[in-house]
Structures are given as C-alpha cells and as structure tokens.
Amino acid sequence: MYIKDGICYAGELTPTIEVSDIKLLDSGMMLVTFSTGEIRLFDVCALASRGAAFAPLTDIENQKTAKVTFGFVSWMDGRIDIAPETMYLESYKYSQIITA
C-alpha cells in the first residue's frame, strides 16, 4: 500500500518508465532505450500478431514510421501506440557485444 497525492492505493508504487529513444533493426526488431538508461530488444512483429489494432505493423513500411512521442512509441502518425510499461515488460534484455 502507498499514498500518492493524498490518495491511498493498494499494491506497490512502481516508478514511471518512459521510452527515450528507439532504433529499428532488421526483421521487425527494435532497440528501445528507456528512461532508466536500460536498452532492451522489442519484437514489433510479435506485437503485430496480437490483434487487428496492431496488424498494420506486419508491414515494414508501417514499422518505419515509429517515433517517440511524450515518452511512448507510436506508429502511423499516432494511429497506433503502446504504453512504455508494456514495451518494457514484453522486451528482452540486450547486451551489446563488442568485437575487436
């Protein structure tokens, strides 16, 4: 339980997380930098398979319209978006491998 702005809430206070940067990779994958500084790998194609609202994201040209707006990612001039918390939970840890 926690209190915020004079209101008592059940559960635990979770810090706000936002998307600060994205980079579209091949095969519908996206590197997402979060406000925590963590970089994670997100599968846009998996999102596209979740239903009609995300179906346009099966098209690579629609994937290329991705942009960060007010801390979240949107596509197609804001017609499709996703909460940053969802992107974080459904993304994968990413470690950049540096080769000599």
* 44 part of a folded domain: yes
d(CA 6, CA 37): 30
Distance between CA atoms of residues 75 and 57, nearest Å: 8
Q: Does residue 4 sit within a domain?
A: no
Residue 40 has pLDDT above 80, yes or no: yes
Let me know if residue 9 belongs to a domain.
no
Banded model confidence at residue 96, pLDDT cuts 50, 70, 90: confident
CATH number at residue 84: 3.30.2020.10
Q: Is residue 8 part of a domain?
A: no
pTM over 0.85: no
**Band (73; pLDDT cuts 50, 70, 90):** very high
Q: Which domain holds residue 32?
A: 16-93
Residue 57 has pLDDT above 80, yes or no: yes
Q: Is the pLDDT of residue 77 over 70?
A: yes
- Tally the domains of the chain: 1
User: What is the band of 13 on the pLDDT scale with cuts at 50, 70, 90?
Assistant: low
